Structure formats: C-alpha cells, structure tokens
Amino acid sequence: MDMVADLGASRLYRAPGESSHQQPQRWFNTADITVAHQSNLLKQLNQQRRQELFCDCSVLVEGQLFRAHRNVLFASSGYFRMLLSQGPDGLSDAANATFDVFSPETFTVILDFIYSGQLDLSSHNVIEVMSAASYLQMNNVINYCKNFIKSSLDISVKDEDSDRCLSLSETCSFTSGAGEETTEQQQQGSVSPPPALWTRDNSRSQSSFIGKDSDQEASASALKTNPSSPAAEVKIEKEDLQDPQDPLYTLPGSERRRGRGGSKRRATNSARTNQHEDLDIQEARTQKAEKAEELYATLPPIVGVIGHFNKGSNPIMRFKCPFCTHTVKRKADLKRHLRCHTGERPYPCQACNKRFTRLEHLRSHFETIHQARKLVCRKCKCQVTEDTGHVVCEGTRRYRMCTACIQEVGCDDIPMDSLEGTNEEPALLLGVDGEEEGDTKRSWMVTDDDDLAEDSGADLIIQQVDDSDEELQ
DNA sequence: CTGGGGAAGGGGCCC
DNA sequence: TGGGCCCCTTCCCCA
C-alpha cells in the first residue's frame, strides 16, 4: 500500500478546503498535480479491474472468482508479495490464489480498499475484515480495524474525549492515505464508526468504568500514554471483552498477567464491601459481557494464518490470534489461547467457585487446594505418605501435616479430616456422562466431608458450565 | 526490603 | 480435535 500511503502524504500537505487551481504556490500545484495524477491512476486501475481489462491475476474466494492486477496486489499485500515472488528468479508465474478462510464479501471489502482506498467497515464485518487483512498481511487495514474497534469499544468516560480525538485523528491520518476523492468521502464519515455505535458504546463505557479496577485504569492510561503501541491497543480490546463478574468471564489476559491472584482478590474483596458498587459492577459487566460475546461469536473459524517459509520454500502455516501477535501451529491451541483474551472461564471449581480457562488448571487447583494431594507436610515441608500425612481441613482448603507437626500444634487446634484414610468414595470428577474419573486417583481423593460440604454448599463435582460447547468433565 | 514457596496461567507438544 | 502433561513465567504471600 505504499502507493496509497504516498497519496495520503500528498493529500496531507494540501490546505483543507482548497482546490488545486486556487493555490498560487508552485509546490502546492505540484503536489496537486501529483495527487490528481495518482488518484486518476488508481481510478483507472479500478476501472480496468471492473472491466477485467489487463487483469492478470485470479483470486478464488470460496468459489467466487475475483480478477485483479498482480502488480496492484503485490504492492498492497504482504501475502500476495510472498505468493507472487516464490519463483527461483524472484517472480512466480502462479497468478492464481484460492482462499477459504474468509468470505467473498470480506474479500470484496479488501479489494475495494486496495483499488479505491475506501474501507467499508461496519460493526458486523470488522472482525472478519481484520482477520482477512491479517491473513493477507495488510498492516494498514489491520490498524484501521483496530482503530475502528477501539473507537467502538471506548472503555471509559475519563478517556472518552481523548480517545475520540485519538481515534478520529488516527482515522483521518489513515484514510487520508487513500485517493483524493476517497479522502473527501471518508472525511465526511463514510468509514468512521457509525454515530449510533458511538452513542451506544459511550453510554456503556460510562458504566463500564465503574467496574474497572486500578489495573484496568492503568491499562487505559497506558493506551493514552502510548496510543500507537499495538500492545496498548490490544490491551484495551482485551479488557473490554471480558467480564470479571460474569460466570464465564473473569479477569483476562494482561490483567491476570500483572496481578495474578492478588489484584483479583483485592478486586473481589472491595466488591464485597460495597453492595451498591457490586450492583453497578454487575450491571456494567453484564453489558460488557454481551459485547464480548458478540465479538467472540463473530470470530471466524480461522482467525488468521501467516505463512513462513522453511528451507524447502514450503510455507509453514500458523494460526494468528486476532487480538495479539501470537501465532500457534494448531487451531485448537489458538482456541485455547483466545480464552485469555475473551476472559472465558468455562471450568468452575465447585468447592470455591473459582473459575479456570482449562480443565487441567481446574484439576490441578482442585487437587492442590481441596484434595491435599501434595505429600508434603505444610508446616515442616517434610515428605509424608498417605498414611503419615494427616489431612487437615481449613475451610475448603486441605493440606497434609506430619504426625510431629500435628502433635506440636495440638490436635484441638486443627480440624482433622474425619474420613481421612478411609476407602470411601472419593470426591468426584465427573465426565460428560457422569462417568467417574477418580478411580485411579482414589487414594488421593478426599472423601466426602461435612466441613467441605458446608463450605462449598455442594459436592465436590468438577464440571463445565452448560453454556460452553466443550465437554463436561 | 527481600527471597523463597505456592498458586495460577499460558505455550508447546504428545497421545 | 481435545485431553493431558510438562515446563516456564508471573505474581502474591509470608517469614
């Protein structure tokens, strides 16, 4: 997109609202001539494309054929640059490409942008366009999609004005990269976020801010500090996608990274201390969760693939996360990774209500915290066995202590597991069919316990919530 | 204030 | 494709 970018540079130098013949300065005229020439050239190319004149490249998208010019595609997309330069002499004869990872409608938007500079974004297609742009390695389109999403998901009243300015200014600078006429159209709002979207999301963001803890504010501040940082942009998107109070959505991604455990606990504790705030938070977060679900639902099955080349010039396909720069080899791994952006936590612990993104994390947590599986005395850290390590209950927590430490502390002070060492049925890890999974771990399983039952209000059944498409376990 | 331990979260990869 | 294991990193708590 160098050509378009150059067009934009020329456009920026022109005084707004003035046509070329009104400007006496020589350099202004030169710039205008350049702009007019480039714009005219682009229009001509677009016209040729529509008439299929001199089109030397065919692109098949889900069965629909698009004709285009190789040089234009080459100049616009890293993917096509790679595709068209695979040959030994640096140029490939392969002038056909086939895509199944995005729809013809999406490619139409992309192609129209390539040939006109107009990016026809809407809240319905922005995710798919961004995925396609990611696939096609069109960074400018990706950035514009990010800006579009960001301005649609404005996160706080505090940042409202500054973010709006940011988004609009970025929008202007970006869309000015198109041709002259395109630029005028875009400046009139043809590609700006719909006003309705602004209104809705701004009102949402007002309530959303109430529910944000300091970490999230810090993230917002980080964005303001360095708005050009992709990481900052991603952070905003991430955090606006999750709902810490929602059963499925808890503190995601970057915040967990920064405040694993502690910040969450602080947030939880403060929320408990103020019921009014709690209600506000829940209301705000419910709205946010709806938005998150919307976006999550609109993610295409394959959200992006980039091609690398190994020594044999064979492309190594990887799946790219639409929210960050991370790529993975397998789609399943991407699906797993996406949870850290969406905040989806489908695996709740029945004992303490803590939720996890992965079953294995839930299992690990359950075994460590609620089943005292570690054969180590909590006090003196010595190794114990299932026989010598007495299970101690502390609320829903269980751990082991050696006989010596038990005696030292005093039995009366420690709530012992009344069923410790018995062979009664263990706590259950239920599969989809209620099939018991704990047989092989029976010796580890904490038996049915009044203390625990009281605390958790339920049997220790690890299961996945209903509203996920993954198996119960 | 600091270092160690524990818990949690995430990525790679095998089955 | 999902489950599961291993490993690493990050962060909090506590002595």
Residues lying close to strand C (Cβ under 7 A), chosen from 332-361 of chain A, are 332, 335, 359-360
* CA dist., res. A102 & res. A301, Å (int): 9
In 3-state terms, chain A is what percent helix, strand and coil (to 5)?
Answer: 50, 10, 35
Distance A269 CA to C7 C1' (A): 32
CB-contacted nucleotides of strand C (7 Å): 1-6, 10-13
Buried b vs exposed e over A270-292: b needs ≥16 C-beta within 10 Å? ebeeeeeeeeebbebbebbbebb
- Per-residue pLDDT tens over the stretch A152-211: 655 433 343 333 332 323 332 333 333 333 333 333 333 333 222 222 233 223 223 223
**What three-state secondary structure class fits A416?**
strand
* CA dist., res. A38 & res. A9, Å (int): 12
Distance A390 CA to C8 C1' (A): 32
| CB-strand contact A265/C, under 7 Å | yes
Half-sphere exposure of A206 (CA within 13 A, CB side): 6
> In which element (H, E) is residue A209 found?
helix A195-210
Mean pLDDT of A375-396: 78
Confidence bin at A273 (pLDDT 50/70/90)? very low
* CA dist., res. A244 & res. A233, Å (int): 20
**Structure token digits, residue A443:** 């010796």
| CB-strand contact A90/C, under 7 Å | no
CA distances from A134 to A147, A158, A305, A318, A425 (A): 15, 31, 7, 12, 52
Mean pLDDT of A319-339: 81
> In which element (H, E) is residue A391 found?
strand A390-394
Tokens 């791994």: give the residue.
Answer: A333
A267: left (phi over 0), alpha (psi -120 to 50) or beta: alpha
Confidence bin at A282 (pLDDT 50/70/90)? low
Q: DSSP string spanning A452-464? A: HHHHHSS--EE--
Distance A263 CA to B1 C1' (A): 21
Mean pLDDT of A265-285: 42
Nearest nt to A261, CA vs C1'? C12
Contact partners, residue A463, CB within 8 Å, separation at least 6:
A348, A350, A430, A472, A473
* Nearest residue: Cα versus C1' of C12: A262
Distance A378 CA to C14 C1' (A): 13
Distance A140 CA to B3 C1' (A): 47
Residues lying close to strand C (Cβ under 7 A), chosen from 358-377 of chain A, are 359-360, 363
| CB-strand contact A308/C, under 7 Å | no
Q: In angstroms, how far apart are the furthest CA atoms of chain A? A: 97
Confidence bin at A383 (pLDDT 50/70/90)? confident
Predicted local confidence at residue A3, as pLDDT: 35
Contact partners, residue A352, CB within 8 Å, separation at least 6:
A369, A370, A396, A456
A105: left (phi over 0), alpha (psi -120 to 50) or beta: alpha
CB-based contact A305:A101 (threshold 8 Å): yes
- Side chain identity, residue A70: R
Half-sphere exposure of A36 (CA within 13 A, CB side): 9
Give residues lining strand B (CB < 7 Å).
A 252-253, 256-257, 260-261, 326, 328-330, 333, 336-337, 339-340, 354, 356-358, 361, 364-365, 368-369, 374, 376, 381, 399
Please tell me which residue, A258 or A284, carries the higher pLDDT value: A284
Confidence bin at A411 (pLDDT 50/70/90)? low
CB-count exposure of residue A184 (10 Å: 0-12, 13-18, 19+): middle
Q: Lowest-pLDDT range, A319-323, A360-364, A405-409, A452-456?
A: A452-456
Contact partners, residue A28, CB within 8 Å, separation at least 6:
A13, A14, A15, A20
| CB-strand contact A50/C, under 7 Å | no
**What three-state secondary structure class fits A98?**
strand
Distance A360 CA to C3 C1' (A): 9
Mean pLDDT of A318-341: 80
